[in-house]
Structure 1
């Protein structure tokens, strides 16, 4: 009965939004003709994934089922699910839009996101599986005092999840606004409701299968889109680049700021426009200074190894061998996908950036929906309405699968790490733990909707990079040193992790991207001038962990160091891992 009530509420919410969007002018929202072919495919996919959720709900009976699908996912399946989790709105919408806007520089996301995977594969995957049960705090706190480490892990997970959720909600809101003609706020609410339904009832089993299906569909759709783009240029990628440069040059010729710059420099408009157009094939357009470039790259690379919703996936497989296999397959699919985003981004310059059909007449320089919608518009340009419907449904699935994984990660941090292990000292029942998890999911859903509305105009790839910066600064140093350095102590891990968390969040809030763009403060007023805090916050976290651990002579420190040998045996051999994972 409760399933029916939730779904009925969802239908009523969606219907109300449609009626309001169709009959009332809500805040000047532009009314657009509905694309019925796209809407039908979109609706079919939503119904299909709700069916998966219903199927998974019948199989989700214990905390182990809810958090890790009972550890019954194979390495190949988990690799696809990880790829599905990782190929988020930031990857598909954000990177392709960033390449369209900035050219070559947009690839810093593709490269940065990808190179973190070898770290996970060779240093972490099998150790994580052998030491953990539900969350990365199980690993970080294996030989440390439970209460402080789990409290820190829950706090850190919360911040990473929130920043990551904002990006997904912004992407989803823009997509549904574009597809249905809904006001953005209603679109975000609709996504939030669906996310809550999926997680509340399906848990990790539903989330995993939605991610697997979505990964297959997204890879297929992106492949077709890339082929259609290259087909237009007889599969000559250099011709694609040449036309992209010419298109950008033509755009700059029409740009009043270029005319002003030409006059000031004593050059013709064509000379300046050509110079700026050719610059899209060179680095330096998006990230202006070396400090920001290094810091940004560090965030993307090391943040991958600290994302709680990705680390959580290693506990869904039965053993360490399958965990390593998961990373191999995930890296393969993700690497292939990022090659496609490069083609899609440059294709969007040629097919979308100057096409009046895809430009917002009320907002000069913006695409319909927002500038995150470049890949979605490209799907229409190369495949028509039905392919637009397919890619819209897949993009929505991309977002939905990721927000479900994020919500599950945040909920598990509160229910498993805080409620069960800290407050109840490991004696909470499976039923009470799941109840807390579901309440947390509701709260996260409401918070995600609110923040998605507040951050509407932010590039989703950049917003995700802030989550990566926090993960690299807070989670990664604690995890890697607890796994590999015998002298790490509870006090060192806790203080170092907190320093990384506080400094990374603090510098992010006073950086230009948030202080000026979001909070509306004057230009050049940001206290921290760089685009990412990682170059400063991550080394500071490592330094704090090392120094505090070396100076720590407390009785607890002796226990922490003495426990390293047993941890290493368990991490390397997996002896005892299977028994600990079964509940």
Structure 2
């Protein structure tokens, strides 16, 4: 048995044992959806970091930096700055005002059924986009690692999907949280070790490191050798629309974080808002360190391995694992690949539980059945069934896209949808007294339609003669989402929503009454 396969099996065995342990403690909706709100600050901080540092970060961004230098590094900057700025604003009021999902905050002072229906649709859309990226990364990674055993990309994607479904269906939020904690520790350890090996290769001289980055040689599509300065912008974001594309991506990352369902749901697992703040600090430290270290992963792959070698061994997503193989041999390659595998499993589990929670709690219970369960435990059963459906859809789309799609790019699109649909209604619900139900529904609908519509007519889908010239739609779809919410609000008055605004503000900022909202 290969070292890689052995490490994979050890990780799977450990996580399945955690799932078995969690399954015994996941009876009831509060346990399944929020781990009974008993996760501590440091645990939730590690879990948030584990959720946020996805395959897009470890595989996709490292690959983008290796192939597109400075422009690829701007993805790292975007992900980091996005977390620091937005979650500090959103985390505490969200924890105080909600119960299980983002829609709980919206439904607090708005008409619950239409708002929950649209919020559930938006959550499922964002989660599916994000999950497809993870599945593509998983398939490419596992099939490359276990190619000697004849494992295909399709089989690898299906295997990861089945494992993810097991974690969520049986272990709920508690199992998902601990898988994410283990993943965050492993990922930081592996990234630090790989960065150390990169610096050791350059005799721990930053001068030598950056000198090599300024002279990267590779062959273009015509087979001509090219030497380029990877510290200069322009390899990805090229004229005439490069600057606009970068701004659009930055807006999607900056505003999308606060609308990502699988990140937001983590703040309902802690006992109070103070613990939510503590977990944000823990997550900021871990996430900040990680994104700084992606510099060594991406530029290390470009200078030590080379674009040509990476391209013929799995493509951009395999930059970090191949770098590990060159610097540390097969055992280190297996270790880094197992970490990447852990990264993917943890994130898809988080995405799946946020999607299934939203459908079961928001749509099934509160829209179809007016907030009442027909039978005890029905909400959890529906969430488990939703998990199977979401998993199957993600597996199918990931297989169709194939292993060559860059996972960081796909996640950038998920951020754009979250920023365009979810963020406007969250912000306006918390900070605008006049905001009402028609504004929320129109904002969610406009943001969803605008972002997905623009993606479909962008260069990423229409390879020749795209109608919309930018890869990321954020620069246009985010303002349209806000505009839809504002116009929808001004079309009608809702005195009840305005009357409850003061109560929402007090609860969001002080936590008074939050225990009741939390289901205690």
Place the TM-score, normalised by the shorter chain, in its bin: over 0.9
Partner of 1:225: 194
Q: Give the superposition deviation at 1:505.
A: 0.7
Q: Give the superposition deviation at 1:178.
A: 0.8
Partner of 2:413: 466
Partner of 1:423: 368
CA distance in 2: counterparts of 1:304 and 1:422, whole angstroms: 26
Partner of 2:441: 494
Partner of 1:17: none
Partner of 1:528: 468
Question: Is 2:47–2:184's contact at 8 Å kept on the other side of the alignment?
Answer: yes
Pick aligned residue for 2:344 from 396, 399, 403 = 399
Partner of 1:283: 233
Partner of 1:165: 131
CA distance in 2: counterparts of 1:544 and 1:168, whole angstroms: 31
Residue 385, structure 1, aligned to residue 322, structure 2: no
Q: Give the superposition deviation at 1:510.
A: 1.4
Residue 98, structure 1, aligned to residue 64, structure 2: yes
Partner of 1:149: 115
Q: In the TM superposition, what are the counterparts of 1:298-377 in structure 2 within 5 Å?
A: 298-353=251-306, 366-377=311-322
Question: Is 1:119–1:305's contact at 8 Å kept on the other side of the alignment?
Answer: no
Question: Is 1:469–1:534's contact at 8 Å kept on the other side of the alignment?
Answer: yes
Q: After superposition, what is the alpha-carbon deviation per residue over 1:211-252, rounded to whole angstroms, capped at 9, x for unaligned?
A: 001100110010000001101112112312222343x23x24
Partner of 1:202: 171
Q: Which has the larger radius of gyration?
A: 1
Aligned alpha-carbon RMSD (Å)? 1.5
Distance 1:50 1:439, change over 3 A: same
CA distance in 2: counterparts of 1:256 and 1:506, whole angstroms: 31
Q: TM-score, normalised by structure 2?
A: 0.96
Q: In the TM superposition, what are the counterparts of 1:32-181 in structure 2 within 5 Å?
A: 36-181=2-147
Q: TM-score, normalised by structure 1?
A: 0.86
Partner of 2:501: 564
CA distance in 2: counterparts of 1:113 and 1:177, whole angstroms: 28
CA distance in 2: counterparts of 1:56 and 1:370, whole angstroms: 37
Question: Is 1:120–1:327's contact at 8 Å kept on the other side of the alignment?
Answer: no
CA distance in 1: counterparts of 2:307 and 2:104, whole angstroms: 51
Distance 1:256 1:169, change over 3 A: closer
Partner of 1:455: 401
CA distance in 1: counterparts of 2:293 and 2:96, whole angstroms: 35
Q: Give the superposition deviation at 1:350.
A: 2.1
Q: Give the superposition deviation at 1:284.
A: 2.0
Question: Is 1:63–1:430's contact at 8 Å kept on the other side of the alignment?
Answer: no
CA distance in 1: counterparts of 2:468 and 2:327, whole angstroms: 42
Aligned residue pairs: how many?
512
SS at match of 2:289: helix
Partner of 2:250: 297
